[in-house]
Amino acid sequence: MRKKQNVQEEPDDIYSIPAIADRAVSQPECVIPEAVVKRLPRYFRCLRGLLNNDVMKISSSELSDLTGVNAAQLRQDLKYFGGLGQRGYGYNVKKLYTSISEQLGVTKKYTAVLIGAGNLGRAIINSRLCEQRGVWIKAVFDGSPSVIGKEIGDRKVSDVAELRRFCRENKTDIAVLCIPADAKSELLGIIKDCGFKGVWNFSPCELDDCDAGAKVENICTGDSLSALLYRMCEDEREKE
């Protein structure tokens, strides 16, 4: 099994959004392969952790220990961010972090609305996850009269019937969907109208880009549990 250590979510991160002056100038020379893109968020977290601990340089083999990614693969991956490594020395952590942040859109400061102010919605607002990725949740909407008007995380919950108008008046990049399965069909039309660039979907109904008229990222919590159960079963089978 691959060994990974210390790739953590740092609770306090002074470096969460790089200052303009620090931004990398170089753009990746060509399209980044899918497999590399999937590893970027891990590098991002790891490098942020290093910066918070004032580590300024790192070699591919050290970063390999921290992330569990093979050192040779790491060097291949990091090539997509311009020549940030120096032979005999290693990589400049800050430059690397800045360059990857830029790729991941952290420096763009996207805006978002949260739709669905239930327990999950509250959990997302309270975790500072969105801020860490440069996403600012401007407003919260819900359909249930029992929550409309209440406050969550300093934001007053508005009626979802107001969503269309709100988005017309306030251009918003992202919709964070925390709604129950049955609310999907009624909402889909509204969401298309709002012209979001992205939808971060926690609801148990998978969406695709066509459904939403935007880039969609589904969080399939159930699939993650299934994967865990599979590996537990596999383990038991092996022990027999």
Residues that bind DNA (CB under 7 A): 33-36, 59-61, 70-73, 75-76, 78-79, 83-91
Name the residue with tokens 């959990």. 123
According to DSSP, the residues that pair with 158 across neighbouring strands are 141
Contact 81, 141 (CB under 8 A): no
Q: Which is nearer to DNA, 104 or 205 (CB)?
A: 104
Tokens of 139: 């407003």
The answer to whether the Cα torsion of 77, 81, 82, 86 is positive or negative is negative
Using rule CB under 8 A, residue 60 touches a second copy: no
Binder of a second copy out of 103, 142, 160, 177 (CB under 8 A) = 103
CB of 178 to a second copy, least distance (A): 8
**Complex with a second copy: residue 56 or 233, whichever CB lies closer:** 233
Candidates 74-82, 85-93, 140-148, 228-236: pick the segment binding a second copy (CB under 8 A).
228-236
Under rule CB under 8 A, residue 226 binds a second copy? yes
Q: Which residues contact 170 (CB under 8 A, 6 or more apart)?
A: 111, 138, 139
* The entry of DNA, a second copy, none that residue 215 binds, CB within 5 to 8 Å by partner kind: a second copy
Maximum distance among all Cα pairs of the chain, rounded to whole angstroms? 63
Helix (H/G/I), strand (E/B), else coil: 151: strand
Overall size of the chain counted in residues: 240
Task: Find the shortest distance in angstroms from Cβ 60 to DNA.
Answer: 4
Name the 3-class secondary structure at 227.
helix
Give the shortest CB-62-to-DNA separation in angstroms.
8
| Shortest reach from residue 237's CB to DNA, in Å | 18
Q: What's the min distance (Å) between Cβ of 65 and DNA?
A: 12
